Amino acid sequence: MNLLMAKRLRPVLLGWAVLGITAVPAAVAAPNVHADATAQKPCCGAITSNGQELESLLDGMHVEQLWQPHLHINWETGEPDRPADYKGPGRSTHCSAFAAAVGERLDVYMLRPPEHGQIFLASAQAQWFHSAEGVKDGWQPLTGPDHERRAQELANRGELVVIVYESPNPHKPGHIVIVRPSEKSAAELDAQGPQITQAGAENHDSFIAAQAFNHHPGAWPDGVRYYWHRVEWASLKSAE
């Protein structure tokens, strides 16, 4: 018990002494420091050097300024490529274009232009990840009761992890986000899901998966799927 706690407990202890109580109840004798430390312990491992590289890459893409909704954009850069008053197709939201651009920077292919246009690309990507071509290209599903923890753990190690929603309505868009490194606790993971970066109706450098699909009723948590792909950081660094 430290000095400050002893001062705060002194009036209480004097009152107990009057009543003949000499033992301090364990609940007030000292805080459960071990329990507090356990609650704040990272759920999914520390962020490795490759995880730090991934974090830096995602932050450096400036998704909160680029890939803006309601503008027609270049899928690779997020820069507008039509006048601001453009009213044609392809100017809604750009979650899938951003995800594909992240993959391109990591030398990891996912379905993208020109193989598929930007319109309804997220749902097409959701189908592609578990297709024969997606599996051949190295994409693997994350399933089972600990898939959220595994997703965050892989991102902390610098691997590319996506959470994707395929819209059941072919005339409405799906959604896709990138899992970003985070040392959140197990309690935070349970409440929030993995930490993510996204473009979409709202663009966020760092956001929580539990709220990332708010514009897609029925998506979170049971309507989304998780996939991951290994990132060859050594090859990326040697190519710089």
CATH of the domain at 109: 3.90.1720.10
Task: Looking at the structure, tell me whether residues 7 and 120 fall in a common domain.
Answer: no
The Cα-based distances of 150 to 54, 147, 178 in angstroms read 17, 5, 14
Question: Is 38 a member of any domain?
Answer: no
Cβ-count burial of 140 within 10 angstroms (0-12 exposed, 13-18 middle, 19+ buried)?
middle
- Tell me the pLDDT band of 209, cut-offs 50, 70 and 90: very high
Residues 27 and 59 in one domain: no
Residue 165 falls inside a structural domain: yes
User: Of all residues in the chain, what percent carry a pLDDT higher than 70?
Assistant: 84
**Residues 126 and 15 reside in one and the same domain:** no
pLDDT (mean) for 80-107: 92
Mean pLDDT of 146-158: 98
In-domain check, residue 204? yes
Note whether residue 41 is domain-resident: no
Is the same domain home to 27 and 58? no
Q: Which amino acid is at 116?
A: H
User: CB-based burial of residue 2 (10 Å sphere; 0-12 exposed, 13-18 middle, 19+ buried)?
Assistant: exposed
Give the pTM.
Answer: 0.83
Mean per-residue pLDDT for 133-152? 98
pLDDT of residue 228 exceeding 80, the answer is yes
pLDDT digits (tens, 9 = 90+) for 212-222: 999 999 999 99
Say whether both 18 and 70 belong to one domain.
no
pLDDT above 60 (res 140): yes
Total number of domains constituting the chain: 2
Using only the alpha carbons of the chain, give its radius of gyration: 24
Domain ranges, residue 22: 3-31
Cα–Cα separations (whole angstroms), residue 208 to 128, 130, 203, 220, 229: 25, 24, 12, 12, 21
At 36 the pLDDT is 57
Looking at the fold, whether 60 and 27 belong to one and the same domain comes out as no
